[in-house]
């Protein structure tokens, strides 16, 4: 933000500085010009300076200020045409200092050397809070200040006719306030924590809509695959248990489930062959023997391979007779077959 108080007639290079010059491009509304006419005095200058600076600091809220103390606005300057005294010039510096914002003071214009040295000496004392007398100390440069009787504050005002009016200054003040409306809240945005994945966030903003749609489609497909995998691994004895092995209890539950499945397959095969097989109870991981099944049937259940081998291997006539005798139903039991297919 630049604020400039200067004489404006349109004749100075480069011709800028009028009230309507507000900046250009990204700097638009960040340039304020206060054009003044010849002969402005201490009261008028202090009034418009303090009003414009206070409004600007309130709206812009600067974190630092650079103040250029051009001494060509002093009265009796060879090129300047104002009627400011050294005391009024120093009061402008003191006003900016009271904002308690980091402040950098630099020099500027000024073409009457003895008045420039007086002005900057006084303003240095204002900045450091020192009180200095009006009498200048004796130096090798005493001849330069002899015409003012070696005074720090010689009379410099009233040399040029004041062409500024209260109405013209009020018009400038109103215009500056209207321009500052564009800066309400500009630098005082709320501070927020930087996201941990800032680079990812910026990369996401640079992606095209097609890339974003493709990524969302891939994410949905992956979720469907995970859902199917979970469904395949589910058991039916708990709340959607997917069989995470956490200890011996899970292993025992799986063993019981496998035995139950084997028993169901054996009963189904038995029913397909016309058998009547009584269900057996399982306690503590051990299979109880069904007493209702004939002993020959129990032998067939325990020796599945041997029972099938007797059917497939060729034997002599005596063995055939023995097999026929063994195949007759036992009148003491209700079993009608020996080939019981049970997975153990």
Counting residues of the chain whose pLDDT is more than 70, the rounded percentage is 56
The yes-or-no verdict on residue 284 having pLDDT over 50 is no
* Angstrom distance (rounded) from CA 71 to CA 113: 9
Listed by start position, the domains of the chain span 2-183, 248-327
CB 78 within 8 A of CB 111: yes
Which pLDDT score is estimated for 182? Answer: 83
CA 308 distance to own-chain centroid: 75
Largest CA distance in the chain: 158
Q: For residue 64, what pLDDT band results from cuts at 50, 70 and 90? A: very high
Mean per-residue pLDDT of the chain: 75
Q: Which two tokens stand for residue 297?
A: 């049937």
Average pLDDT over residues 325-329: 52
The three-state secondary structure class of 306 is helix
The yes-or-no verdict on residue 282 having pLDDT over 60 is no
Q: What residues form DSSP beta bridges with 103?
A: 65
Instruction: Write b or e for each residue in 25-46: b if 16 or more Cβ atoms lie within 10 A of its Cβ, otherwise e.
Output: eeeeebbbbbbbbebbbbebbb
Which pLDDT score is estimated for 13? Answer: 76
Phi-psi category of residue 41: left, alpha or beta, with phi > 0 → left and psi -120 to 50 → alpha: beta
Average pLDDT over residues 187-193: 55
> Which superfamily does 2-183 belong to?
Histone deacetylase domain (3.40.800.20)
Which pLDDT score is estimated for 315? Answer: 47
One-character DSSP codes across 92-149: HHHHHHTT-S-EEEE----S-HHHHHHHHHHHHHHHHT----SBPPP-TTGGGGGGGT
Which pLDDT score is estimated for 250? Answer: 55
Look up the pTM and report it.
0.54
Q: For residue 28, what pLDDT band results from cuts at 50, 70 and 90? A: confident
* Cα angle, residue 295 at apex, residues 293 and 297 outer, rounded to 5°: 60
* Angstrom distance (rounded) from CA 33 to CA 8: 10
Which pLDDT score is estimated for 257? Answer: 64
Cβ count near 56 (within 10 Å): 20
Q: Which two tokens stand for residue 158?
A: 């009233």
Average pLDDT over residues 145-152: 92
CB 278 within 8 A of CB 290: yes
Q: What is the pLDDT of residues 303-319, one digit of tens each?
A: 454 544 444 444 455 55
């Amino acid at each position: 933000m630049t604020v400039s108080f200067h004489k404006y007639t349109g004749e100075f290079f480069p011709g800028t500085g009028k009230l309507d010059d507000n900046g250009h491009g990204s700097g638009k509304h960040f340039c304020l010009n206060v054009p003044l006419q010849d002969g402005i005095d201490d009261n008028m200058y202090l009034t418009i300076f303090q009003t414009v600076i206070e409004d600007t600091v309130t709206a812009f809220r600067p974190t630092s200020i650079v103040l250029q103390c051009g001494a060509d606005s002093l009265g009796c300057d060879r090129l300047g045409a104002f009627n400011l005294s050294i005391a009024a010039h120093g009061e402008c510096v003191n006003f900016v200092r009271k904002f308690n914002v980091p402040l950098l003071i630099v020099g500027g214009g000024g073409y009457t050397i003895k008045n420039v040295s007086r002005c900057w000496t006084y303003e240095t004392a204002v900045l450091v809070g020192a009180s200095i007398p009006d009498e200048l100390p004796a130096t090798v440069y005493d001849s330069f200040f002899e015409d003012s009787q070696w005074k720090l504050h010689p009379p410099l005002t009233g040399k040029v006719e004041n062409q500024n009016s209260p109405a013209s200054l009020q018009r400038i003040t109103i215009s500056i306030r209207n321009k500052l409306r564009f800066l309400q809240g500009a630098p005082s945005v709320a501070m927020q924590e930087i996201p941990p994945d800032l680079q990812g966030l910026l990369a996401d903003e640079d992606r095209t809509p097609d890339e974003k749609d493709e990524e969302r489609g891939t994410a949905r497909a992956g979720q469907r695959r995970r859902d199917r995998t979970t469904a395949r691994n589910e058991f039916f004895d708990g709340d959607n248990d997917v069989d995470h092995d956490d200890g011996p209890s899970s292993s025992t539950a799986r063993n019981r489930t496998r035995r139950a499945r084997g028993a169901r397959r054996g009963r189904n095969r038995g029913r397909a062959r016309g058998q009547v097989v009584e269900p057996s109870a399982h306690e503590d991981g051990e299979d109880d023997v069904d007493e209702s099944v004939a002993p020959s049937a129990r032998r067939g259940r325990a020796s599945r391979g041997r029972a099938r081998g007797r059917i497939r291997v060729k034997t002599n006539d005596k063995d055939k007779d023995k097999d026929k005798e063994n195949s007759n139903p036992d009148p003491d039991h209700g079993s009608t077959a020996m080939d019981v297919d049970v997975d153990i």
